[in-house]
Each structure stands twice: as structure tokens, then as C-alpha cells.
Structure 1
Amino acid sequence: MDTAVKYDIEFIKDEARQLVSKGVVNRQQPIYTLCKYVSEREWPLFELELEKNEFLLRDRIIDLLSHERWEED
């Protein structure tokens, strides 16, 4: 039985967006910063999905957030 979580790119983007909105990570940090918030066991799956979608771990988190919504102050 396979109990591993399947990460798709939309899930990864949503997770990154939530971490940024909570102020846990900064948009300018590299994507590999997210590894702190993914279990060590599941990080290879997370990383594989990023690679399939042509993201490098050194790319900035903002690259994942290509469609951010801005609210007026």
C-alpha cells in the first residue's frame, strides 16, 4: 500500500502562498527554504514535482506565486 502524499504543483503553490501570507517565509527566499515545512520523507516527492514544472531549488518563492492577489490598503 502506497501511503506517500502526491504533491502537484498547485498544492505546492498553495502551500507556499499560505506560508508567505502568514509571514513564515519571505517571497525573496529560495524555494529550498520550503523544505523546513515538508517532512524529510516527502521532500523528494515535493522536489520532483518542482523539477517536472521547471522550478529550480535556487529559484525564489515569488516565482511560485505568479498569480498573487493584492488587496487595497
Structure 2
Amino acid sequence: MITTDTRHISYSIDAIKHDVCNLVEEGCISRLQPIYKLCQFYSDRDWVCIECELERNEFLLRDHIIDLLDGEKIHED
């Protein structure tokens, strides 16, 4: 995950996607959970920046985590 100190750090959508991929691989979060569940892995200050970057890239907090994972699709059983 991205860690910060007292300086302002900007988050790119690629960095966020990389973090999400790692969290999914580690089993910390499920692909089918909503994006807003990511907030538990970031500080409040960081989450504000991440939320803005997600919105700039047209992701909604109710979208699924899988939407941030390139090349993966939800398969209905």
C-alpha cells in the first residue's frame, strides 16, 4: 500500500489499481466488494485523495473492486 508522511502525496489511478491488486492477491478484500471498502486500508487524509482520483477516472464507490482490476470480468454462475 502507499504510505505517506506529512507531505501531500497524489495518487495515480495506476498506483491505486496496483494496491487493489495486491490486496486481492493477499485475500484482504474480495473482487466483488464495493470500492468504498478500500477506505479501511488508508488513512482518512489519503482516502480523500484516492476518492478524488477514482471520481476523476469515472469510478463510483459502489462499483465492484473487480472494476479496478484490468482484464477481469465478473462471471455469473
CA distance in 2, matches of 1:22, 1:12: 15
- Unaligned runs of at least 5 residues, structure 2: 1-5, 73-77
CA distance in 2, matches of 1:18, 1:60: 16
TM-score, normalization by structure 1? 0.86
Q: 1:10 aligns with which of 7, 14, 38?
A: 14
Amino acid at match of 1:32: Y
CA distance in 1, matches of 2:18, 2:8: 19
Amino acid at match of 2:18: D
Identity among equivalent positions (%) equals 51
| Residues paired across the two proteins, number | 67
- Unaligned runs of at least 5 residues, structure 1: 69-73
Structure 1 segments, 4+ long, off by >4 Å, are: none
1:67 shift after superposition: 2.8
CA distance in 1, matches of 2:24, 2:51: 19
Q: Partner residue of 1:45?
A: 49
Cα RMSD (Å): 1.3
CA distance in 2, matches of 1:66, 1:46: 18
